[in-house]
Structure 1
């Protein structure tokens, strides 16, 4: 029982991964009310199910004649696999792809008593009933044919997994940059508030045409920021837009104050406002039309829609903003 050649083991891995994808895609699609191409990779595979299936066979093989030990081995093996996978993925991507925190008995939200028991039951049912006809089918297929098919699938799956891995890293970068951008923009806002309140009576001096130059440049700020804010609005989230809108209004207020009382905003103040605006443009350029725009156009179905329950302890608010934007894009 369960004595297979290397390529047969690989074949079974992809078979179980395909079965898991079909099962979860149907379940999540019904729950969400629309088709959801479930999983970490783009293709019709859920590697966790493949690993789980192989683990069940290997863990239960020494105890196959004892159903109780098969149950226990399934509980321990599958739960350990689930926990290690969760820890590794969170460490790499800063995102939790499943969360059992809502369950009554759980550990760190990564595993739960309910899922552990379910794994044990599945191991017994799987190894003593479902695997028997699967084994017959597998052994009836010529080994050379299995080798060719499995090799092709391995190549395709490897490319798919590499893309999915990069996708997850891109999402992590988006969340991290969103956090940094918000912090930098908040500091800009505080400084602009000070500049807006600044009177500078002691700095009054004749500056002639320089003031006109400042007014023109600040006017460019007022005209340009609007389109920049619109760009980020189509790229990230409404809540980040709110921060951008606040900065836009502050730049406009500075422009108005300079026009009304130019001698109160001279020297370093002029340079500082222009420097703040330059930094603001750099932040906006990082969001669109670069990697972040491509992220939403190319990856949204698989990374966000394919994992609707994903969460992040480190960047919870930012991830929720991304999810909200994805839903708005899909509705359009």
Structure 2
């Protein structure tokens, strides 16, 4: 049984947070051929690894004499921890920092059978191999030194976590605003399409009416050339009245055209403003927000997928120059 003081538990937690960060960052850096500071925090600590290690030690305590039960406890405990952490982070930040949706036998993309089975093996490895020398090392540190180191690490890690948490919340707000701007832009685009379609239809209708009127006028003029001058005079007066009526209708139509032009201009202005806002939101300047995006290139979002992908492209400098115009 593990009988550690609170300070010792914290020290082991920080130790495994650091070791997990080293392993994860080295793996991703080699895979991407680029130095990568992995994780939720900016410092060299991954709390999920520390939590996982402590969880493995705790759940295996009652079964240290039975390796099979240690395996089962590790599978169950780690899977619960992974699921709860994944669901909580997505609920808070609207993004997933890992996603098993493409793996077989996954549940909601937060956990999958293959990973759960691997957690059991890691629990055996942790309790039987890894933690033995780590325990010896931790317990060999003088009590005063251990307390001093642990207290300093606690302050630094807490501050880092608080800033990273705030950055993640701010990043969530950016995604929400980007999605709102996109919805407004789609609404404006649809309204523009409707106005343009109506304007084109109106032009076609006017052309048809004008052509028909000119044809009827020619026919009527030809017929009246042979009648009495009084009839011609009466016809001219009638035409004058029609022209006056037509003039009023034209003026009314002209005013409608002016209103349409004004609405078009307003919609174009709103669209330009929304486009500028979306680009501005996509340029992260905060150190912790940029760090979150760069450190987790594989993170996804079910609700804000398009906005998140745009944010990642801009933050990592993968946008083409013309995209910035």
Fold in common (TM above 0.5):
yes
Whether the aligned pair in 2 keeps the contact of 1:17 and 1:49 (CA below 8 Å) is: yes
Kindly indicate whether the alpha-carbon contact (under 8 Å) linking 1:97 and 1:307 is maintained by their aligned counterparts in 2. yes
Q: CA deviation at 1:84?
A: 0.5
Alignment partner, residue 283 of structure 1: 274
| 2:209 alignment counterpart | none
Distance 1:65 1:104, change over 3 A: same
Per-residue CA deviations over 1:121-153 (Å, capped at 9, x if unaligned) read: 111111122111111111111222212211111
Query: Which residue, out of 256, 265, 271, partners 2:257?
Result: 265
Could you say what secondary structure the match of 2:69 adopts?
A: helix
State which structure, 1 or 2, has the greater radius of gyration over its C-alpha atoms.
2
* Alignment of 1:127 onto 2:119: no
Number of the residue aligned with 1:250: none
* 1:42/1:164 contact within 8 Å kept: yes
What's the CA shift for 1:46? 0.7
Out of 308, 318, 321, the position equivalent to 1:319 is 308
Q: 1:331 to 1:281 in 2, by over 3 A?
A: closer
Q: Mean alpha-carbon deviation: is it higher for 312-321 or for 25-34?
A: 312-321
Task: Report the count of equivalent residues.
Answer: 275
Matched, 1:61 2:61: yes
| SS of match in other structure, 2:316 | helix
Q: Name which of structure 1's ranges 168-177 and 57-66 shifts more when overlaid on structure 2.
A: 168-177
Q: CA deviation at 1:327?
A: 3.4
> How far apart, in 1, do the equivalents of 2:104 and 2:192 lie?
49
Instruction: Give 1:114's aligned residue.
Output: 114
Alignment RMSD (CA, Å): 2.8
CA apart distance, 1:166: 1.9
Q: 1:89 touches 1:96 (CA, 8 Å); kept in 2?
A: yes
Corresponding position of 1:224 = none
Q: 1:325 to 1:262 in 2, by over 3 A?
A: farther
Find the counterpart in structure 2 of residue 145 from structure 1: 145
State the TM-score, normalized to the length of structure 2. Answer: 0.75
CA positional deviation for 1:91 = 0.9
**Unaligned stretches of 5+ residues in structure 1:** 207-260
Q: Does 1:328 align with 2:324?
A: no
